[in-house]
């Protein structure tokens, strides 16, 4: 007798209420259900993590004994490793095993079996040893379920990749209907569970289960090993080491929430972690033979100082006035103001006119007294003290995105990689390292995008002062970026930075603080999450040209499409290209693949 979703859910609630289906709908009455496919990850030269999830068919809160096998063929006539594990309620019935004793640079098939039921067959690969002719990495990030279908994952599953590098935002924490595409909700039924913002361990587990029930995500996990790092949404938006933008006192203790998020990550991701059940520090490294070292960083949580915000962290430019003689009120310095009684002095904010080529300040006391934020003319806005912010706050020498211990670890990794003779040093991490300066876009173009006037005003201020666009990225931590770039000053090194987070496709010819070439950066577009074109809804070509003009390090930028990126490594070159899906609101889609960008060994920049 078949069991419907409603019947299965009813039985679940009656028998073992705390166990959740996590988005899975049982297709029949089996002894057990392999509810979320299989996955592999964190491959080394002789081992790899294998993952699955098993729900007991009788719905009792019991451990399920699970057998696993690794074979050189999909018929499993040549099993090279096998073992036993348990699916336990305490780990949400997830199973993770570290399959050891494998050979380098080998393709393997694996499966799980429990109570006469078999999982689907997964494919994985070990990392190579010694000389490596070529190694192909697929890059992904920012897969937001209620924005549309994961078509880019389906395309990745069909490619001959050695590894998928997921650079964060694997899930999103928002409640149902927030940060969502209305058509995806209404027509595609891409609603999230639980419906509220996720805060507890059960919440995070349920959200992972929903995502991992997606067939396209299951397919790419089944076909390729993953190496992953979290960004903010696996935790909560704009996280740093002691807080987050999307966490308030009404949502409980922040660190308790983070512990829940980390435990769910440990359970649901095919990552090699400690045995305590709580994902420890996530920075780690992998050797791709003599070809490269893949150095995975945590730029989001471990040691990150709070992200800066232009609206909150910049003081306003102010002017003191002497009111001793009401008929002759005049501007004065603070030193002069200190000697006056409080009734004879006044400090006022200074608005600036940005309609002119050079901003003009109003210093007329009577005019300033009449101005309020609501009464400011379209081209006038209270001017922030950007220079003080830039030098004293943004330029703080101790400001870090990594933390002191991770900085030291990275320095050691960079030195060890060069000394062992690896050709490429790859930094796999979350946010853009390249310098992205706010571009100058005409008022005519900005107004076409139906952008509110306050946003346009601030955009012009930042653009006219050549300020960074995104302080959440490495641009918000320039001193730490300088330290990191100095770590790779050895002429034998060939740094490559891989980044996610922005939802758009980027590449940079990175330069250090002296202007010397540091290396290249490849930024992958989002799988579904909307990009810059959503926040500046004007012609993408106008946006792209404006960014190229404002940001000298930028070598490629796509402002409108979703997809994934790849890097193909050889001893002589690193070749990058992007794969864009034309549709995320329909299962019928096509893929556009860009022409390759090539960085030759020793050049530290894209050569073509």
DSSP secondary structure string for all residues of 106-150: -EEEEEEEETTEE-PPEEEEPPP-S--S-EEEEEE----GGG---
pLDDT tens figures, 462-511: 898 899 999 999 999 999 999 999 999 999 999 999 999 999 999 999 99
Q: Does 424 score more than 90 pLDDT?
A: yes
Dihedral (CA of 141, 142, 146, 152) sign: negative
- Which two structure tokens, joined as six digits, stand for 455? 């946003």
Q: pLDDT tier at 384 (50, 70, 90 boundaries)?
A: low
The residue with greater pLDDT, 363 or 71, is 71
Phi, psi of 83 (to 5 degrees): -175, -170
Do 537 and 445 touch, CB atoms closer than 8 A? no
Q: Six-digit token pair at 12?
A: 């679940």
Query: Which are the contacts of 460, defined by CB distance < 8 A and separation ≥ 6?
Result: 354, 440, 443
Q: Which two tokens stand for residue 317?
A: 């430019």
Contact between 440 and 448 under an 8 Å Cβ cutoff? The reply is no
Average pLDDT over residues 327-351: 87
Strands 424-428 vs 292-296: parallel, antiparallel or unpaired: parallel
Residue 29 has pLDDT above 70, yes or no: yes
Question: Does 383 have pLDDT greater than 70?
Answer: no
Instruction: Report, in angstroms and rounded to the nearest whole number, the Rg of the chain calculated over CA atoms.
Output: 27
Reference 117, options 146, 87, 96; nearest CA is 87
What is the structure's pLDDT at 6?
37
The mean pLDDT value for 381-404 works out to: 84
Q: Once rounded to an integer, what is the mean pLDDT over residues 558-582?
A: 98
Greater confidence (159 vs 26) lies with 159
Q: Which residue did the predictor score with more confidence, 5 or 608?
A: 608
| In the predicted structure, residue 356 carries a pLDDT above the cut 70 | no
Three-state DSSP class for 302? coil
Please give the domain boundaries of the chain with CATH numbers for all domains. 5-270 (2.60.40.380), 316-383 (no CATH)
The percentage of residues in the chain with a pLDDT greater than 90, rounded to a whole number, is 76
| Distance (Å, whole) CA 175 – CA 199 | 10
Residue predicted with more confidence, 370 or 532: 532
Q: Residue 150: which residues within 8 A CB-CB, separation 6 or more?
A: 143, 214, 216, 217, 527, 528
Examine the pLDDT at 355 and tell me if it is beyond 70. Answer: no
Angle at 434 between CA 430 and CA 435, to 5 degrees: 125
What is the structure's pLDDT at 340? 92
Identify the pLDDT of residue 316: 66
Cα(425)–Cα(295) distance, integer angstroms = 7
Say how far apart CA 86 and CA 53 lie, in whole Å: 10
Q: Which residue has the tokens 């045995």?
A: 275
Averaged pLDDT, 124-133: 98
Which residues, 6 or more positions from 494, have their beta carbon under 8 angstroms from its beta carbon?
423, 424, 425, 519, 574, 599, 601, 602, 604
Distance CA 400, CA 386 (A): 20
- Answer yes or no: is pLDDT of 18 > 90: no
Q: Where are the alpha helices (DSSP H) in 4-115?
A: 5-16
Q: How many CA atoms lie within 13 A of 520 on its CB side?
A: 25
Q: How far apart are CA 274 and CA 292, in angstroms?
A: 25
Q: Give the β-pairing of 330-332 and 284-288.
A: unpaired
**DSSP bridge pairs for 227:** 165
277 dihedral zone (left: phi>0; alpha: psi -120 to 50; beta): left
pLDDT reported for residue 329: 92
Query: What is the distance between the alpha carbons of residues 501 and 432, in angstroms, rounded to a whole number?
Result: 8
Average pLDDT over residues 277-302: 92
The model's confidence at residue 357, banded by pLDDT at 50, 70 and 90, is low
Q: What CA–CA distance (Å, rounded) separates 451 from 534?
A: 11
- pLDDT-derived band at 85 (thresholds 50, 70, 90) equals very high
> How large a percentage of the chain has pLDDT more than 70?
90
Return the SS3 of 407: helix
What is d(CA 588, CA 33) in angstroms, rounded to the nearest whole number? Answer: 30
Is residue 581 scored above 80 in pLDDT?
Answer: yes
- 553: closest CA among 514, 510, 582, 583? 510
Instruction: Pull the structure tokens for residue 158.
Output: 């069909």
pLDDT score at 314: 73
What's the pLDDT score for residue 276?
61
Read off the pLDDT of each residue in 61-70 and give the average, rounded to a whole number.
96
Give the pLDDT confidence score for residue 483 in this predicted structure: 98
pLDDT over threshold 70, residue 517:
yes
Helix (H/G/I), strand (E/B), else coil: 488: coil
Alpha-carbon 553 to chain mean position: 21
Report the chain's mean pLDDT, rounded to a whole number.
91
Does the pLDDT of residue 447 top 90, yes or no? no
Name which of 95, 105, 178, 174 is nearest 136 in CA terms: 105
Task: Output the pLDDT for position 536.
Answer: 85
For the entire predicted model, the pTM comes to: 0.89
Are 467 and 437 spatial neighbours (Cβ–Cβ below 8 Å)?
A: yes
Residue 59 has pLDDT above 80, yes or no: no
Half-sphere exposure (Cβ direction) of 537: Cα atoms closer than 13 Å: 7
Number of other CB atoms surrounding residue 286 within 10 Å: 18
Crossing angle, helix 404-419 and helix 478-487, to 10 degrees?
20
Q: Measured between alpha carbons, how far is 568 from 565 in angstroms, rounded to an integer?
A: 10
Q: Give the bridge partners for 11, in sequence order.
A: none
- Under 8 Å between Cβ of 236 and 173: yes
- Report yes or no: 546 and 469 within 8 Å, Cβ to Cβ: no
Residue 130 predicted with pLDDT over 70 = yes
pLDDT digits (tens, 9 = 90+) for 586-605: 999 999 999 999 999 999 99
Q: Is the pLDDT confidence value at 214 over 70?
A: yes
C-alpha 235/C-alpha 228 separation (Å) is 14
Strands 225-228 and 163-166: parallel
Q: Does 151 have pLDDT greater than 70?
A: yes
Instruction: Read off the pLDDT band of 10 (50, 70, 90).
Output: very low
pLDDT class for 12, splitting at 50, 70, 90? very low
Residue 277 predicted with pLDDT over 90: no
Structure token pair of residue 222:
């089944």
pLDDT of residue 294: 98
Q: CA-to-CA distance for 296 and 26, rounded, in angstroms?
A: 37
């Amino acid at each position: 007798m078949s069991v419907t979703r409603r019947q299965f859910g009813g039985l679940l609630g009656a028998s073992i209420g705390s166990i959740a289906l996590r988005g899975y709908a049982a297709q029949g009455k089996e002894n057990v259900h392999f509810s979320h496919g299989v996955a592999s990850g964190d491959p080394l030269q002789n081992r790899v993590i294998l993952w699955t999830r098993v729900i007991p068919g009788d719905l009792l809160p019991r451990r399920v004994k699970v057998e696993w096998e690794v074979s050189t063929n999909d018929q499993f006539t040549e099993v090279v490793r096998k073992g036993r594990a348990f699916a336990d309620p305490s780990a949400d019935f997830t199973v993770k095993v570290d399959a050891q004793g494998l050979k380098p640079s080998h393709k393997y098939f694996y499966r799980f079996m429990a109570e006469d039921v078999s999982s689907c067959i997964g494919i994985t690969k070990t990392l190579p040893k010694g000389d490596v002719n070529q190694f192909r990495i697929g890059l992904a990030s920012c897969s937001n379920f209620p924005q549309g279908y994961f078509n880019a994952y389906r395309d990745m599953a069909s490619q001959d990749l050695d590894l998928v590098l997921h650079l964060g935002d694997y899930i999103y924490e928002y409640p149902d209907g927030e940060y969502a595409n209305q058509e995806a909700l209404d027509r595609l039924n891409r609603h999230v569970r639980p419906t509220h913002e996720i805060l507890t361990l059960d919440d995070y587990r349920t959200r992972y289960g929903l995502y991992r029930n997606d067939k396209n995500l299951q397919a790419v996990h089944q076909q390729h090993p993953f190496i992953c790092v979290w960004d903010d949404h696996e935790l909560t938006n704009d996280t740093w080491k002691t807080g987050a933008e999307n966490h308030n006192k009404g949502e409980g203790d922040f660190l308790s929430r983070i512990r829940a998020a980390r435990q769910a990550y440990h359970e649901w991701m095919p990552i090699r972690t400690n045995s305590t059940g709580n994902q420890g520090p996530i920075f780690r490294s992998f050797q791709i033979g003599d070809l490269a070292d893949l150095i995975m960083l945590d730029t989001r949580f471990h040691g990150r100082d709070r992200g800066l915000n232009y609206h909150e962290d910049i003081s306003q430019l102010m002017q003191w006035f002497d009111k001793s003689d009401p008929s002759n009120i005049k501007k004065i310095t603070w030193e002069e103001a200190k000697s006056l009684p409080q009734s004879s002095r006044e400090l006022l904010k200074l608005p600036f006119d940005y309609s002119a080529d050079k901003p003009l300040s109003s210093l007329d006391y009577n005019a300033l007294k009449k101005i309020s934020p609501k009464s400011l003319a379209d081209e006038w806005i209270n001017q922030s003290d950007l220079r003080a912010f830039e030098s004293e706050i943004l330029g703080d020498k101790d400001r870090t995105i990594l933390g002191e211990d991770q900085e030291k670890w990275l320095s050691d990794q960079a030195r060890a990689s060069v000394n062992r003779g690896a050709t490429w040093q790859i930094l796999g991490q979350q946010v853009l390292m390249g310098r992205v300066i706010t571009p100058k876009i005409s008022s005519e173009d900005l107004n076409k995008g139906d952008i509110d006037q306050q946003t346009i005003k601030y955009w012009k201020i930042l653009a006219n002062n050549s300020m960074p666009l995104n302080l959440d990225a490495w641009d918000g931590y320039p001193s730490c970026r300088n330290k990191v770039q100095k770590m790779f000053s050895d002429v034998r090194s060939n740094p490559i930075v891989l980044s996610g987070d922005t939802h758009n496709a980027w590449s940079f010819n990175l330069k250090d603080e002296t202007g010397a070439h540091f290396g290249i950066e490849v930024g992958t577009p989002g799988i579904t999450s909307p990009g810059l074109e959503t926040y500046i809804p004007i012609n993408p070509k106008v946006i792209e040209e404006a960014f190229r003009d404002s940001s000298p390090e930028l070598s490629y930028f796509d402002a409108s499409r979703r997809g994934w990126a790849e890097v193909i490594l050889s001893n002589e070159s690193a070749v990058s290209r992007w794969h864009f899906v034309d549709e995320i609101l329909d299962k019928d889609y096509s893929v556009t693949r860009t022409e390759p960008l090539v960085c030759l060994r020793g050049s530290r920049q894209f050569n073509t």
